Structure 1
Amino acid sequence: MSTNTELAGRTALVTGATTGIGRAVAEQLAGRGADVVVHGRDPRRGAEVVAAITAKGGRARFVAADLADAAEVGRLAAAAGDVDILVNNAGLYDFTSTPDTTADNFDRHIAVNTRAPFLLVGALAPGMAERGRGVIVNVTSTAATTAAHVGAAYGASKAAVELLTRSWASEFGGSGIRVNGVSPGPVRTAGTEPLLAGNPGMEAHANVRGRVGEPDEIADVVLFLVEDRSSYINGTVVLANGGERSALPGQG
């Protein structure tokens, strides 16, 4: 556990924190002294993350919620309480073509990736404003700005979050709240492993670094945006993609 306790006394809610980028973010925030509310859908995995954090001297608790259900998003916000740091990380992604994307699938992308962050900010930002400080970090994706032949629904849902990031920075910036985003390129997680396995050349051609990213590398950027060393950064989406090439295999 880090000896840097800059975030001591602050409560952080991290959505989608039981695996991948979200778990790395939760662990890093706890390592800086924050009390972390670990969100996910699987209580077993949630307990594992909480145990890993507390074993290193950190503080964490788990709250389950299905972000596709607006009522559960509201319950998550209520259970989290007075949050000083909100990291909207949870995301759903199906890399399907437009004809193969059903209305229900499209709606679920928007519900989880766009509506849930919107509702959480609406519920939690007023409390931050009353206390005169707060940080919101949205994890988006380079799919929001890079066209591809599949995954249009996912890209659209994340593009909306990038616009919301700038809007919220303007709306709440005068109340002491900073709102920024992180836009990762391909990252090695449980969700992307099947995609990487099915496309052997993808990792070598992912970007000019010749590899995909690791969850901790994205969490490092989130931590920077949360801490006071980034106090003059507001309304920005930071690219963390290794320097993408103009086209990946299969994209022209």
Structure 2
Amino acid sequence: MSASSTVRGRTALVTGATSGIGKAIARNLAAQGAHVVLHGRDQARGEALVKEIESEGGSARFIAADLTDADDTLRLAAEAGAVDILVNSAGLYEFAPTAASDAASFDRHIAVNTRAPFLLVGALVPGMVERGQGSIVIVGSSAARTPAPIGAAYGASKAGAEILTRYWATEFGPSGVRVNTVSPGLVHTEGTKAMFGEHTAMLDKTNARGRAGEPSEIADIVSFLVSEASSYVNGAVLFADGGELSTLPS
């Protein structure tokens, strides 16, 4: 059974859909026939993506929301309505040493990377349970399992999302709702380019494949996880890092 045959006609909410991995996921699901509710912060970028998807024969609408605000996150869930697929792709990362990270920075990481998925699941999954089916995917990060000298707040927030995956799989699995995480290593996105700058070439030396990932490759994994092709996969954290090396290149 192909992924498209089980995604077609379903409604998917994808957070962080206007750039990077989230955008690739949204386009992938729309191309397979899902109606995609796009989330982002920038109205213009969101509307541009809706037009792009529609020009390719897909169906989409956009909702702007600030995931650092709990009430706005719940508004997003209410406006999204009944969804069959929830992909928590929005992510915030401010890599800095612990001593240089203040309480506000820590709170932003937790709000976007951990609390927002928690609130969206709490608001949207009861409907999935009532319908007897649904799929949730969290876009995690290798930072949750691979410590580094900087970025502790980011790593902690992503580790929190991973453990939520296991709790939710246990809580909702008997009702027909599956919950999984895909945990990418370094991926070529606007964010990583901005972070590494002139050192972007280093990204291709951090794993056994000899290259960083592409957003479309992560989108393909998400497509698998939300489809019936993965019907027996629940509570999993799927590493998608090309075979991450134990030490980074100098």
- TM bin, normalised by shorter chain, reads over 0.9
Question: Is the Cα contact below 8 Å between 1:201 and 1:249 reproduced in 2?
Answer: no
Map 1:145-184 to 2 at 5 A. 145-184=145-184
Normalised to the residue count of structure 2, the TM-score between the two structures is: 0.96
State the SS of the aligned residue for 2:147: coil
Distance in 2, Cα, partners of 1:210 & 1:18: 28
Unpaired runs of 5+ in structure 2? none
Q: Per-residue deviation at 1:32?
A: 1.1
Task: Give the distance between the partners of 1:148 and 1:73, measured in 2 at CA.
Answer: 30
Matches within 5 A, 1:41-80: 41-80=41-80
Distance 2:106 2:220 in 1: 31
Cα deviations across residues 38-84 of structure 1 (Å, max 9, x unaligned)? Answer: 00000111011111110111100000000000000010000000010
Higher RCO, 1 or 2 (CA under 8 Å, sep at least 6)? 2
Aligned-partner Cα distance in 2 for 1:165–1:240: 16
Give the conservation status (yes or no) of the 8 Å contact 1:6–1:33.
Answer: no
Deviations 1:186-239 (A, max 9, x none): 011111102332425522321111111110000010000011000000000100
Unaligned runs of 5+ residues in structure 1 are none
Aligned residue for 2:19? 19
In 2: Cα distance, 1:151 partner to 1:94 partner: 7
Look up the match of 1:104.
Answer: 104
Amino acid of the structure 2 residue aligned with 1:168: W
Q: 2 CA distance for matches of 1:200 and 1:9?
A: 39
Give the TM-score taking structure 1 as reference length. Answer: 0.96
Tell me the residue number matched to 1:221: 221
What one-letter code is carried by the residue in structure 1 that aligns with 2:21?
A: I
- In structure 2, relative to structure 1, the CA distance for the partners of 1:3 and 1:176 (3 Å cut) is closer
The AA in structure 2 aligned to 1:126 is P
Q: Which residue does 2:142 correspond to in 1?
A: 142
Equivalent residue of 1:204, what SS?
A: helix
Select between 187-196 and 165-174 the one with higher mean Cα deviation.
Answer: 187-196
Following TM superposition, by how much is the alpha carbon of 1:5 offset from its aligned partner in structure 2, in angstroms? 4.5
The answer as to whether partners of 1:5 and 1:31 remain within 8 angstroms in 2 is: no
CA distance in 2, matches of 1:201, 1:136: 33
Percent identity for Structure 1 against Structure 2? 62
Aligned match of 2:244: 244
Shift of 1:249: 3.5
